[in-house]
Amino acid sequence: MQQAGCQLGGYMANVTSKYSKRLDVLPPYLFAHIDALKAEKEARGVDIIDLGVGDPDCPTPPHIVRSLVQAAHKSSNHQYPSSEGMLSYREAVSEWYAKKHVALDPTNEVLTLIGSKEGIAHLPLAFVNRGDNVLVPDPAYPVYKIATILADGKPIGMPLSAENGFLPDIDKAVTDAKLLFINYPNNPTAAVADDAFFRTVVDYARDNDVIVCHDAAYLELTFDGYAAPSFLSVPGAMDVGIEINSLSKTYNMTGWRIGFAVGNAEVIAGLREVKSNLDSGAFQAVQEAGIAAMTGPQDTVDALRKLYAERRDALVDGLRNIGWSVEKPKATFYVWVPVPDGSPSLEFSLKLLDVGIVATPGIGFGEHGEGYVRFALTVPVSTIEEAVIRLEEVV
């Protein structure tokens, strides 16, 4: 790390002992461990089928890429963007939401995000004081818990289990929380929520004065004619919280870092205040490409739904044929599978690695993820079929 001519070497010798308590209490990053084992296998020439990471394998649709190229040539896009995002982008979001879900005021109920992870990670900084309770599902996308810890809040797990359809039991949640995270269609369980569940959440939030953040990253990736409801479509939701959404999964744009938060104007204002002090917004050319995604032809989204449904069928039907018991998900690009031989999920995923398959052990999403393994449908059907042949060897 030391640069030529830099005299700081001795002074900073003991950097690791200077890590903040915040960093010290972060849970170990299990996925990095699995990545390292995968790289080791690949180096030894093992042909790996990666069903681990939730990152779409298909490219961004070409009309969106073309829009970025054009927008990148405009010098007006070369300067700092505004931290809340271009009004034209926020208008495109509100039109897109109005068509499917709810009407939103683009001036104060929509905020551009540099990917939804950014918004989720910054939200606790706007509302959480040291020691405040934050309700997070378990298992879950790790960012809710980590962002809470980084804001010195106290994450309180809400267990998700097959018995309750992977919906948290809101009646059992502590009532003195600042913030509540939920996520449907859900990663990693692929469960979906109905209006009735969202109404329970709104009642709880109103009765106990808790802010709700619904992560809707998979709202559009639904199958068999099922359409997932927006949290904001439930009466009263706009009074208690926000929804965070992203172009990452809907338009294969994970690398572009573009998303948005929508909902309660005061919650949006809090998040905007944090962002205006910490980042300077999303590259405007990327926002223009986002407008092209949301206002352009939506047949690519239909094609994507069809593609993931075919892959889901190949995996679920294949696993059932070899005797595994698996639910067929209505949404997301994940299949959440009970470990068939009852071994701990980490141990089981290491066995899978021995036959060249990467899958994510449920324990990596929280203690209540134990007993499950998550497969991502980010490879072609033919590769999934090969994976099923290998999986038959494992058990």
Candidates 222, 160, 145, 226; CA nearest to 197 is 160
What is the closest distance, in whole angstroms, from the C-beta atom of residue 129 to ligand PLP in the complex? 25
What is the closest distance, in whole angstroms, from the C-beta atom of residue 52 to ligand PLP in the complex? 13
What is the closest distance, in whole angstroms, from the C-beta atom of residue 324 to ligand PLP in the complex? 24
Angle between helices 299-321 and 381-394 (to 10 degrees): 20
Rounded Cα–Cα distance for residues 120 and 227 (Å): 24
CA 120 distance to own-chain centroid: 9
What is the closest distance, in whole angstroms, from the C-beta atom of residue 115 to ligand PLP in the complex? 3
Nearer Cβ to ligand PLP, position 126 or 247? Answer: 247
Alpha helices (runs of H) in 279-373, residue ranges in sequence order: 284-295, 299-321, 345-354
Nearer Cβ to ligand PLP, position 177 or 217? Answer: 217
What is the closest distance, in whole angstroms, from the C-beta atom of residue 64 to ligand PLP in the complex? 15
What is the closest distance, in whole angstroms, from the C-beta atom of residue 22 to ligand PLP in the complex? 21
Nearer Cβ to ligand PLP, position 184 or 348? Answer: 184
What is the closest distance, in whole angstroms, from the C-beta atom of residue 133 to ligand PLP in the complex? 21
Pairing of β 259-263 and β 110-113: antiparallel
What is the closest distance, in whole angstroms, from the C-beta atom of residue 191 to ligand PLP in the complex? 12
Find out whether 244 and 274 touch, Cβ atoms under 8 Å.
Answer: no
Candidates 315, 6, 159; CA nearest to 326 is 315
Nearer Cβ to ligand PLP, position 217 or 315? Answer: 217
Q: What are the b/e assignments for 54-72, b being 16+ CB within 10 Å? A: bebeeebbeebeebbeebe
- For 270, phi and psi rounded to 5 degrees? -65, -45
Angle at 390 between CA 42 and CA 56, to 5 degrees: 60
Nearer Cβ to ligand PLP, position 113 or 319? Answer: 113
Q: Which residues, listed in sequence order, are joined to residue 157 by a DSSP beta bridge?
A: 136
Residues found near ligand PLP in the complex (CB under 6 A)? 54, 115-117, 141, 183, 187, 215, 217, 246, 248-249, 254, 259
Find out whether 111 and 84 touch, Cβ atoms under 8 Å.
Answer: yes
Rounded Cα–Cα distance for residues 61 and 308 (Å): 16
Nearer Cβ to ligand PLP, position 168 or 318? Answer: 168
Q: Which residues, listed in sequence order, are joined to residue 361 by a DSSP beta bridge?
A: 373
Nearer Cβ to ligand PLP, position 248 or 300? Answer: 248
Nearer Cβ to ligand PLP, position 135 or 388? Answer: 135
Rounded Cα–Cα distance for residues 265 and 101 (Å): 17
What is the closest distance, in whole angstroms, from the C-beta atom of residue 187 to ligand PLP in the complex? 4
Pairing of β 259-263 and β 241-246: antiparallel
Q: Which residues, listed in sequence order, are joined to residue 360 by a DSSP beta bridge?
A: 374
Residue 79 in tokens: 């300067």
Q: Which helix (H) or strand (E) holds 158?
A: strand 154-159
CB neighbourhood size of 21 (10 A):
8
Residues whose CB falls within 8 Å of the CB of residue 33, separated by 6 or more in sequence, listed in order: none
Nearer Cβ to ligand PLP, position 109 or 215? Answer: 215
Nearer Cβ to ligand PLP, position 246 or 388? Answer: 246
What is the closest distance, in whole angstroms, from the C-beta atom of residue 326 to ligand PLP in the complex? 20
